[in-house]
Structure 1
Amino acid sequence: MTKRILLILAIVLLAQSANAQLFSKERLANLETFDNRFLTWGYFLGFNSYDFKIEYFDQAQDDNTDIIVNSQSGFNVGLVGDMRVNKYINLRLEPGLYFAQRNLIFPNLVEERDFLRETKSTYIHVPLLVKFSTKRLNNIKPFVVAGVSRSFNLSSNEQNPEDNEQGQFRMTSGTGYFELGFGIDFYLFYFKFTPSIRGVFATSDELVADDDPNSPWTSNISRLSTRGIFVNFTFQ
């Protein structure tokens, strides 16, 4: 639900802002030479909603025993480095710090200390993106962006000798992703402001299984991978 709210809010904000620019009578061009620069820098602030995609060994898994993932909104902050390739294509490096939390509920377990696992994550997230822009119209320029990324989870517990028997849900510390999104550049008087939304999809299994091969928490999980939505606001 949180992810849907973030998605709807981002689309509404983008649409309203673009509509205001497109149909405004104001035609004065701000920052006319901004896009001619070979390198530009900036920073971003934003929100995230991380989720898990879980696959099971038992394909006949009962829905009543599926692991439930409750996502919570998190916060993003980072830097932007942009390199101009040509008029419509840019390469972007956006290293950032992402704070996230997902709660895993195991409905087949009864005791409170067993059925809930909080996975709080602090990611150093480093994406390399290709930005494909349209022609600038008035003071806006829509774009789509795609690329790959790598993250390092500082709270993964991968090397922790304790596992779910002691209340510790463990994940791998490094994860690869591919990303896809869109946004709009707004050329303001003093700077360029860019709201954007991206989907991120892990390409690797992030589960560190419990030591017990019959663990009620991890024994039936064949693959656990992150997916999520980022809503960022960039200032350049």
Structure 2
Amino acid sequence: MKKLLVLFLISPLLFAQEGMFSKDPIINKENWNKQRIHWGYFLGFNSLDFKTDYLSVTEDIEVKSTTGFNVGLIGNLRLAEYFDLRFEPGLYITQRNLTYPNILDAGDRLREVKSTYIFFPLLLKYSALRTGNIRPYLIGGVSTALNLSSNANVTEDNYNERFRMTKWTNFYEVGIGIDLYFEYFIFSPSIRGVFSMNDELIRDNDPNSPWTGNVHEMKTRGFFINFAFH
């Protein structure tokens, strides 16, 4: 994931074309941002973990994040010179490995939480003044997500190796990015943090379960790196 962050930071250089960063560049797609509506798509990566609060003091559940994959569509509505409203439905596939330090049995101690989310975010984009073929921006908003791997409707629980989460969750997102204007398209790398507003854990049937009994709240948090094309 560190390599991905480095790639995000240097991507403007990797994708630069001749003259893009010169003193007097040829202006590409000069009237692009005057469109009322435009469309695009994105590909990217994610890294999610859990923020866990407990009912009583205990050893923290260890969460190991893995690198997941994102893909989705972009619908952009121009509101004003510097403001756009965006709808970015996307598929986010990820996995988190939970280790419970208070459980002795090796098989019961580990839970592999595989999640396939469909995000429905509504975002406000604020763009800075365009300089040549470069335009940085801030983006943020709220989203709701459907977890296709939640196991919410399953009666079995952790005693049967079934980790259960809520099917629907609300999030807020904040991030930064940059629009790079090329001759035939716009390339927009961005990085954003995502934070759940709801407790996502479904408790086991036994209220004294070693997996869920002492958990007050378990919320997703993490970040997305997206590479958008318009």
- TM score, norm. by length of structure 1: 0.92
Query: Residue by residue, what CA displacement relative to the aligned partner does 1:77-117 show, whole Å, maximum 9, x if unpaired?
Result: 00000000011000000000010000000111121220000
Matches within 5 A, 1:80-229: 80-229=74-223
CA contact (8 A) 2:20 2:26 kept: no
Q: Please state whether the residue corresponding to 1:30 is helix, strand or coil.
A: coil
Displacement after TM superposition at 1:221 (Å) = 0.4
In the alignment, what sits opposite 1:75? 69
Query: Could you tell me which amino acid in structure 2 is paired with residue 55 of structure 1?
Result: D
Displacement after TM superposition at 1:53 (Å) = 0.3
Query: Residue by residue, what CA displacement relative to the aligned partner does 1:123-155 show, whole Å, maximum 9, x if unpaired?
Result: 111110000001110001000001000100000
Query: Could you tell me which amino acid in structure 2 is paired with residue 30 of structure 1?
Result: N
Displacement after TM superposition at 1:13 (Å) = 3.4
Quote the Cα distance in structure 2 between the aligned partners of 1:53 and 1:27: 46
Displacement after TM superposition at 1:24 (Å) = 1.9
Query: Could you tell me which amino acid in structure 2 is paired with residue 118 of structure 1?
Result: E
Aligned counterpart for 1:38 among listed residues 14, 33, 36: 36
Displacement after TM superposition at 1:165 (Å) = 0.2
Quote the Cα distance in structure 2 between the aligned partners of 1:46 and 1:82: 19
Quote the Cα distance in structure 1 between the aligned partners of 2:19 and 2:121: 29
CA contact (8 A) 1:101 1:121 kept: yes
Which runs of 4 or more aligned residues in structure 1 lie more than 3 Å from their structure 2 counterparts after TM superposition? 4-9, 11-18, 20-23
Quote the Cα distance in structure 2 between the aligned partners of 1:67 and 1:134: 42
Query: Could you tell me which amino acid in structure 2 is paired with residue 34 of structure 1?
Result: W
> If each structure's helix is expressed as a fraction of its own residues, which one has the higher value?
1
Q: Please state whether the residue corresponding to 1:102 is helix, strand or coil.
A: strand
Q: What is the number of residues matched between the two proteins?
A: 229
Query: Residue by residue, what CA displacement relative to the aligned partner does 1:162-206 show, whole Å, maximum 9, x if unpaired?
Result: 100000110001000111000000010001110000100000000
Q: Please state whether the residue corresponding to 1:169 is helix, strand or coil.
A: coil
Structure 1 unmatched ranges of 5 or more: none
CA contact (8 A) 1:171 1:206 kept: yes
Displacement after TM superposition at 1:11 (Å) = 3.2
Query: Residue by residue, what CA displacement relative to the aligned partner does 1:2-41 show, whole Å, maximum 9, x if unpaired?
Result: 4x554454234358779x9874245110001100100000
- TM score, norm. by length of structure 2: 0.94
Aligned counterpart for 2:51 among listed residues 47, 50, 53: 53
Identity of aligned residues (%): 51
Quote the Cα distance in structure 2 between the aligned partners of 1:191 and 1:6: 23
Query: Could you tell me which amino acid in structure 1 is paired with residue 29 of structure 2?
Result: L
Q: In structure 2, do the counterparts of structure 1 residues 235 and 211 end up closer, same or farther at CA, with 3 Å as the change threshold?
A: same
CA contact (8 A) 1:143 1:182 kept: yes
Query: Residue by residue, what CA displacement relative to the aligned partner does 1:25-71 show, whole Å, maximum 9, x if unpaired?
Result: 4511000110010000010000000110000001x32xxx3100000
